[in-house]
Structure 1
Amino acid sequence: MRARIKAAALALLFTSPALAEGCRDLSHLGDSYTVCTVENPSTLNLWLRDNDDQVVGEFFSLREMLAEEGKTLTFAMNGGMYHEDRRAVGLFISSFQEQARLVTREGPGNFGLLPNGVYCVEDGTARVIESRKFAAKPPACRIATQSGPMLVIDGALHPRFTPQSTSRKRRNGVGVDGKGRSHFVISNGIVRFHDMATLFRDVLDSPNALFLDGTVSRLFSKQLGRSDVGPRMGPIIGQALPSQ
């Protein structure tokens, strides 16, 4: 009986609108989030500079650049932490080219709150990998961005997260579920790390999930007619499809 109930619950989970391709709004523990789900990671890319070696920085600039390439941006969000000059803080790989190195040491701020991790797409497969595991056996990532902290590590929440935390900020992150789907999440208000992590683990079926950034988090969604304004971004991650 318990096995049948568990199987039914899993079947409901995998058919949940929260796990469908595309972007949608949902509520979790009283907070509002937008989730953009991508089934085929080969449609994802990571951008920092344009063809003139200038920082892209804005969604409208990215859309214009892609239009010149015959592509349409379906969704995008800031794709990791960056320095004042918009360079990535940790590992940054685009089109197999490493532009910033992996950082495995503990340090200040959210990035250095170990364990941190890497979102990597290789051979059509997306993964979130803890940074020191990544360093021990680096995969051949077509794109990769490092950030921190990890939100979920092998099904467990980051050990520093508590439901009583008073640290509430606008945040965004990414997780990969049991079927290999990438879930890009942004909060529509201020949230705790703990609560966002449980969204990935309990609703989005993501045993590993990574915080990308906070406060400056922004989202573009063609489907939702949304293009957030805010501070100029560094790395941007998103999905580009051939224009029709």
Structure 2
Amino acid sequence: MAQRIACVGPSSRADSSLWKTMKRRYGAVLLIAILVAAMAVVLWPRRPAPPPLVIGGELPAPCRNVAFEAVIYVVCTVDLRTYNLAVFHAGVDGKPFGSLEAFDKAVAGEGRLVLLAMNGGMYHEDLSPVGLLVEDGSEKSPLNLADAEGNFFLKPNGVFLVGKDGKATVMESSTYAAAKPDVAFATQSGPMLVIDGQTHPRFEPNGTSRYIRNGVGVRDENTVVLAISRSEVSFGSFARLFRDALGCRNALFLDGAVSALSDGDKMIVGGKFPAGPIIAVLARQPLTQ
């Protein structure tokens, strides 16, 4: 048997008055809530906008600041017909310089003008190179084709070199082993950033590994491009910098976290980090009569 359901609502004058009073109170509470919310939006302390990037200090003559994919880099374009570029590791005593600061002081003491210096490859705890190192035509450490863990062994890795003919190139380590070029200066590192116009196949477009990083590319046989980020950057973005912004068909990663750049007198990027191999650009020595 169906039951009749009575509708619930105000059934008398007293009930109607109570209903209206409750509606007014609810309306007042709602209005107060809206006003409080509006005031909170206006008065709540907002996170300040990030300050504009301020880059101070003069850069060495071959260098400039370059913005790429929201990261600022110091990019040094070195014409080998104008500047001397060399790879260094140890002083006259046979001991590793150990840092850019020590290198700058040692070379200045010899009366040579360092325009810029950058850490130039990976090293063991004793500062010896992990891979190939050639100084002034003399091989100090052999080519390393081994497989192991770490960035150096993220194949393909590669070699940056300046030949005895004064021409520069970046090539894969296996290609170097087969070609056996006549080398004046060379340093091996890894991974390659750009290989014949393509970024390293193992790189994600913008991976989560972020460090201040530095690398070297070659635009043509006379033009070497050194770059170091001023803030953390992924491998993928760093590789695209060399390929897309700097015009390098081949480029090599040098290091991260300990990346540093000096102008022969003071640090521009990085701090008192240890260094194994060092790439340096020096003013040409005047010809003696």
Query: What's the TM-score, normalizing by structure 1?
Result: 0.86
Distance 1:242 1:228 in 2: 26
> Which of 138, 157, 160 is residue 199 of structure 2 equivalent to?
157
Higher strand share goes to which structure? 1
For structure 1, the residue ranges without an aligned partner over 5 or more in a row are 1-20
| Residue in 2 that maps onto 1:117 | 158
State the alpha-carbon separation in 2 of the partners of residues 210 and 201 from structure 1: 11
Structure possessing the higher radius of gyration over alpha carbons: 2
The answer (yes or no) to whether the contact 1:81–1:213 under 8 Å persists in 2 is yes
1:172 pairs, out of 189, 193, 214, with 214
Deviating runs (4+, > 4 A) in structure 1?
Answer: 222-225
- What corresponds to 1:214 in structure 2? 256
Q: SS where residue 220 of structure 2 aligns?
A: coil
Aligned to 1:7: none
Structure 2 residues not aligned, in runs of 5+: 1-60
Cα displacement (A) at 1:144: 0.3
2: distance between equivalents of 1:53 and 1:142? 19
- 1:77 equivalent in alignment to 2:129: no
Q: Which moved more, 1:223-232 or 1:50-59?
A: 223-232
Structure 1 position 235 matched with structure 2 position 277: yes
Task: Let me know the Cα RMSD of the aligned residues.
Answer: 2.0
Are the counterparts in 1 of residues 206 and 237 from structure 2 also a CA contact under 8 Å? no
CA contact (8 A) 1:22 1:223 kept: no
Partners of 2:86 and 2:220 lie apart in 1 by 21
Sort the Cα spacing of 1:68 and 1:106 in 2 relative to 1 into closer, same or farther, 3 A. Answer: same
Percent identical across equivalent pairs?
43
SS at match of 1:71: coil
**Corresponding position of 1:90:** 131
Inter-partner Cα distance in structure 2 for 1:29 and 1:186:
14
Q: Does 1:126 align with 2:168?
A: yes
Separation of aligned partners in 2, 1:231 and 1:222: 15
Aligned length: 224
- The match for 1:181 is 223
Identify the range of structure 1 (207-216 vs 67-76) with the bigger mean alpha-carbon deviation: 67-76
Q: Alpha-carbon deviations, 1:46-71, whole Å to 9, x = none?
A: 11111112221223322222223321
Confirm or deny: 8 A CA contact 1:38 1:182 kept in the other structure: yes
Where do residues 14-25 of structure 1 align in structure 2 (5 Å cutoff)? 22-25=62-65
Match of 1:26 in 2: 66
Structure 1 position 25, deviation (Å): 1.1
Write the distance in 2 (CA, Å) between the matches of 1:113 and 1:39. 30
Q: After TM superposition, give the deviation of residue 167 of structure 1 in Å.
A: 1.1
Higher RCO structure (Cα 8 Å, ≥6 apart): 1
**What SS is found at the alignment partner of 2:122?**
coil
Q: CA deviation at 1:226?
A: 2.5
Tell me the TM-score normalized by structure 2: 0.73
Residue number among 198, 218, 243 corresponding to 1:201 in the alignment:
243
CA, structure 1 residues 227+109, in 2 after alignment: closer, same or farther (shift >3 Å)?
closer
Contact 1:23 1:224 (C-alpha < 8 Å) held by counterparts: no
CA distance in 2, matches of 1:226, 1:243: 24
Aligned residue identity for 1:23: C
Distance 1:225 1:95 in 2: 26
